[in-house]
Structure 1
Amino acid sequence: MADRGNPFGEMDNPFQDPAVVEHRPGNQYATLDVYNPFDARGVPPPYHDQPTLQAPATLPTAPAQPAAPPVRKSSPTEPKNYGSYGSQETTAAATADLLRRQEELNRKAEELDRRERELQNAALGGSAGRQNNWPPLPSFCPVQPCFYQDIGVDIPQDFQKTVKIMYYVWLVSAGTLLLNFLACLAWFIADGSQGAGFGMSILWVILFTPCSFVCWYRPLYKAFRSDSSFNFLVFFFIFFVQDVLYVLEAIGIPGWGFSGWIAAFTAMNKSVAVGVLMIIVAIFLTGTAAIGIVMLKRVHSIYRRTGASFQKAQQEFAAGVFSHQAVRTAAANAAAGAAQNTFRPQ
């Protein structure tokens, strides 16, 4: 009878099973206790790691080639940001445009402040604040300036360029008339029969120089200074007549005192030097006439944009006439005389 302390008995020991005994470790099997992967001295590796094919020991080994250094990409000097480059450029352009507009507005504001201070000082100081400064004569001259002119103060900034150009046109026309006088003098010296033309050239230079300034330049200056329709109409009428005279001066009818083209080629028969001088004057006269036509059209376009009209000119003329003290006195006397004659018994 089996031992009661062993429930399996001697024959029932699982470790005595022939299948287990058959597979006990032996010399032909490698175990973890026997195999050392770091010690290759006579102990073979496990059977599952045995190589199927082993390279012969006599095969030559190729010399080891040095590894090629890795190619390093050159980094750009500044990072690329393809997504925001266009937006940054647009923002920079918009910022520059805003800064430019801000500077222009500041400049206009400063100009308006300066003009306002000038006008306030002139209003407070009366005639002492706006002393006449044109023509610019020296202090020792017995003749004093007759007009006050300051384009930067009196004229709005949008029209200052136009007024300056018209002032230069007047200066060029005055200088051309002086050259015309010298050319006519030279022609009179070369040909004694040209006395009438020489006399007329003296009249033109004496008459046209001051009259053109007073009759068309000053009305233009006042028109832009106070937006006066009446002064615009005065300028248009007188400057149109002046421009027609410029054209006649450029033509140069002999005996009229103008060194135009006809008179210049006529003087060539007497003296080549005098003819060349008169041709130069004819070029100046032609240029003055052309600039006069262009500026007349330009001022007229500005006149139409400002809202001026003939009706406003009539109202300004009536207001100006009746605001004059002498005219009001004369009108009152005339009304009083008419009333007396009406109620006087016959």
Structure 2
Amino acid sequence: MSKYTSFPDPNEDQNPFQDPSVTQHSSTTGYATLDLYNPFDNKNGQQPPPYEATTPTAPPPAQTPPSRTTPTEPRNYGTSYNTQNEETSSASGAYVPPILQSTDSPPAEDPQTAVNATTAELLKKQEELERRARELERRERELDAHALGPGGVRQNNWPPLPSFCPVGPCFYQDISVEISQNFQRTVTIMYYYWMFTAVTLLVNMISCMIYFCADVTNGVGLGLAILWFILFTPCSFVCWYRPVYKAFRSDSSFQFFSFFFIFFAQVGFYIIMTIGIPGWGFSGWIVALSALKVNVGVGVIMLLTAVLFTAQAAMGVVMLKKVHSLYRQTGASFEKAQAEFATGVLSNQAVRNAAASATASAAQGAFTGAR
């Protein structure tokens, strides 16, 4: 039954790939594939065309799409951009050539040179600011002087005496107002140094008094110690502190020279005080060591006074050098001091009156003699 119908018998084991129409074409390797063969075109019993193997072509290489940059994204043509290209090419498998740096770009600047240039510029600006500050201070002092009027004088405030005292202040002193900011520290130290010398002379007077109580033969030393305290305390203020105050206040060369002359002599006298010559009224080292033989307690007190004299002399030398260094910065000179002295003498009313009286007397004498 199976050979009269197209359907196989279920009991028969049929292989669909053993069909004669299939085996006829599959057994022949010289025919083309089924998609190229049309059995309805074989009208004259011609064989199908022979099979021709086609050479497989390589697929086109993958291309990496160009990266888009937004208008706000900065373009870096340096090392970081080359590093990004290398990372992108290693991730995608495609080679991306690095961007060559432009030969027209300037060489990198040395960091140390940039730091030095910045430091020099800052120092220049600082000098300019200091110069302007000094100019403002000078103008402020001039305005204060004009505000007082042509004959106006500030009210004296030193020494600070109580109102009931019959003697009033003798000087006007205000370091923060009259002295430039660059010299205020030096003038303040000189003021404290004068106070230290006054206290040292007072301690010396007390030591000589105690020594006189232990040895009555030291009466001359006690009298001289009292004289030094009464004499040197006001004279040192007037003779060397006020000149240095005026010198820094008005940049006066004459006041500088007055200070150097008097203060140098004062420092030499402080050295003599430190030595302590017997009978001069100074509790220096020689007198203090000799007082130890008389009384140990009195000797110790005088040794402390000798230490104060030593510190006073050493500090005087230091301040003399300090003021001299500042004097050289102010531009003062001996010629300016002479000019200031001549101007001050000629502008003094008492000197002019005396010169006029002397001239008139000389002229009258000459006229009388001629008659």
Q: Distance in 2 between matches of 1:311 and 1:108?
A: 25
Matches within 5 A, 1:187-198: 187-198=211-222
Correspondence 1:281 to 2:311: no
The structure-2 alpha-carbon separation of the partners of 1:25 and 1:191, relative to structure 1 and needing over 3 Å to count, comes to: farther
Q: Report the equivalent of 1:136.
A: 160
Q: Report the equivalent of 1:217.
A: 241
Q: Distance in 1 between matches of 2:303 and 2:319?
A: 24
Q: Distance in 2 between matches of 1:183 and 1:31?
A: 138
Q: Distance in 2 between matches of 1:32 and 1:247?
A: 133
Matches within 5 A, 1:158-237: 158-237=182-261
Shift of 1:122: 4.2
The C-alpha deviation readout for 1:184-213, integer Å capped at 9, x for no partner, is: 121112222212111111111111010000
Structure 1 residues 212-221 or 163-172, which shifts more? 163-172
Select the residue among 143, 149, 152 that pairs with 1:120: 143
| Gapped regions of structure 2 (runs ≥ 5) | 1-23, 37-52, 55-79, 81-106
The percent identity for this pair of structures is 56
What letter matches 1:157 in structure 2? Answer: Q
Q: Distance in 2 between matches of 1:180 and 1:326?
A: 41
Q: Report the equivalent of 2:39.
A: none
Please say if residues 176 and 285 of structure 1, whose CA atoms lie closer than 8 Å, have aligned partners that are also in contact.
yes
Please say if residues 188 and 194 of structure 1, whose CA atoms lie closer than 8 Å, have aligned partners that are also in contact.
yes
Shift of 1:172: 1.2
| Gapped regions of structure 1 (runs ≥ 5) | 1-23, 35-46, 49-80
Select the residue among 290, 293, 298 that pairs with 1:266: 290
The structure-2 alpha-carbon separation of the partners of 1:223 and 1:202, relative to structure 1 and needing over 3 Å to count, comes to: same
The structure-2 alpha-carbon separation of the partners of 1:107 and 1:136, relative to structure 1 and needing over 3 Å to count, comes to: farther
Shift of 1:101: 5.5
The C-alpha deviation readout for 1:37-65, integer Å capped at 9, x for no partner, is: xxxxxxxxxx99xxxxxxxxxxxxxxxxx
Q: Distance in 2 between matches of 1:123 and 1:136?
A: 26
What letter matches 1:226 in structure 2? Answer: S
Where 2:182 maps in the other structure, the secondary structure is: helix
Q: Distance in 1 between matches of 2:346 and 2:353?
A: 10
User: Larger RCO: Structure 1 or Structure 2 (Cα < 8 Å, ≥ 6 residues apart)?
Assistant: 1
Where 2:299 maps in the other structure, the secondary structure is: helix
Q: Distance in 1 between matches of 2:121 and 2:252?
A: 36
Correspondence 1:301 to 2:325: yes
Question: Structure 2 length normalisation: TM-score?
Answer: 0.64
Q: Report the equivalent of 2:339.
A: 315
Please say if residues 121 and 129 of structure 1, whose CA atoms lie closer than 8 Å, have aligned partners that are also in contact.
no
The C-alpha deviation readout for 1:224-259, integer Å capped at 9, x for no partner, is: 222222212211121111111100110011221111
Correspondence 1:342 to 2:366: yes
Please say if residues 134 and 180 of structure 2, whose CA atoms lie closer than 8 Å, have aligned partners that are also in contact.
no
